[in-house]
Amino acid sequence: MTPLRPIGESRGTTARAKVRILDAWRAREDAKPGDAVRAEELFDVSGTAAVVTGAASGIGLAIAQVLAANGARVTLLDRDAARLEAALQEMAAGADVRTEMADVTDRVELDRAFDAAAKAHGRIDAAFANAGIGGGPGFLTIDGRRNAENSFEGISEERWNAVIAHHLSSVFWTIQAAARHMKPQGGGRIIVTTSIAALKTEAIIGAPYMAAKAGAAHLVRQAALELARYNILVNAIAPGPFRTNISGGRLNDPAVREFHARTSPLKRMAEPDEIMGLALFLASPAARYITGAQMVIDGGASLGSAD
């Protein structure tokens, strides 16, 4: 992806009129009636200290790119060292970006990585729980044939445990690690990547993935309820079919892409950079009164097919 440019002239942390980054998220409360609202103020994330898990590729990389390009200080967290190094080259010139290698299913590693990010940037203002693995095929193939290996009784304990660990347990650990840093500092943002699988059944995607994403979506609401007192806003992004390398690149398979294009009202899959606007919004002052929400970005796929 081409390195991004900020939506407005970036203001450094020292140029902020108020005291700290969280004050900027509440700055519009001091506005007078009739004051003009400028996009670069509403969506200003400059100086925000963010952690993005699964940031070495796909949706996570796109989220990290848009934050960094608009002045956030970003920690890219992933378990793939080579891809992390390559992701650094995808950042905007002069961006304040660092990396941490960790497996999100390892609670100790994850806590260590969050502690290191907080030490490096002085705080954690936004955490994106995005890391995951492919859910695997469902009980039907894309051409409508039954697949016994991926029926309920065919799914192995190993596969179930791996998917739940990556898409549900890791979300809990990430929320926990982020909240531990955000409570003492007076607030923050936690944004979880769920899926439209949290909202609807799907025959071509494995049952463990469907259950994990539904669980993650409800976990977001529960966390939002509990953490609101501490000014920690917890929301979810629910993507539809995006063209990424998850599932070993299965979503780049021409037959799979054609299937998703055929069943989507927009007749195509999304590219990773199409997540950027929503991610920036949820990390910005514009979303200061939103918590417990799950925002769908699927090109209408969850509505059903159309002509």
Report the pLDDT value the prediction gives residue 10, as an integer from 0 to 100. Answer: 38
- Mean pLDDT taken over the chain: 89
Q: Which residue spans within 73-138 are E strands per DSSP?
A: 73-78, 96-101, 126-129
**In the predicted model, is pLDDT for residue 248 greater than 50?**
yes
Residues 6+ apart with CB under 8 A from 285: 24, 25, 26, 27, 28, 41, 42, 43, 44
Residue 84 half-sphere exposure, CB side, CA atoms within 13 Å? 18
- Report the amino acid identity of residue 21: I
Write down the residue that tokens 């004051």 correspond to. Answer: 35
| Residue 182: both structure tokens together | 């955000």
For the chain, give the number of residues.
307
Work out how many domains the chain is built from and give that number.
Answer: 1
Interval 103-131 mean pLDDT:
98
Residue 194 within any structural domain of the chain: yes
The verdict on whether 289 is a catalytic residue reads no
- Of the listed ranges 33-37, 89-93, 146-150, 290-294, the least confidently predicted one is 33-37
Residue 140 within any structural domain of the chain: yes
78: domain range? 39-300
**In the predicted model, is pLDDT for residue 46 greater than 50?**
yes
Task: Kindly name the residue from 25, 43, 128, 209 that is annotated as catalytic.
Answer: 209
Nearest to 124 by CA among 60, 197, 176, 159: 176
Residue 1 within any structural domain of the chain: no
Per-residue pLDDT band at 244 (split at 50, 70, 90)? confident
List the CATH number of the domain containing 156: 3.40.50.720
Task: Dump pLDDT digits (tens) for 162-193.
Answer: 999 999 999 999 999 999 999 999 999 999 99
Residue 61 within any structural domain of the chain: yes
**Residues 150/163, Cβ–Cβ less than 8 Å:** no
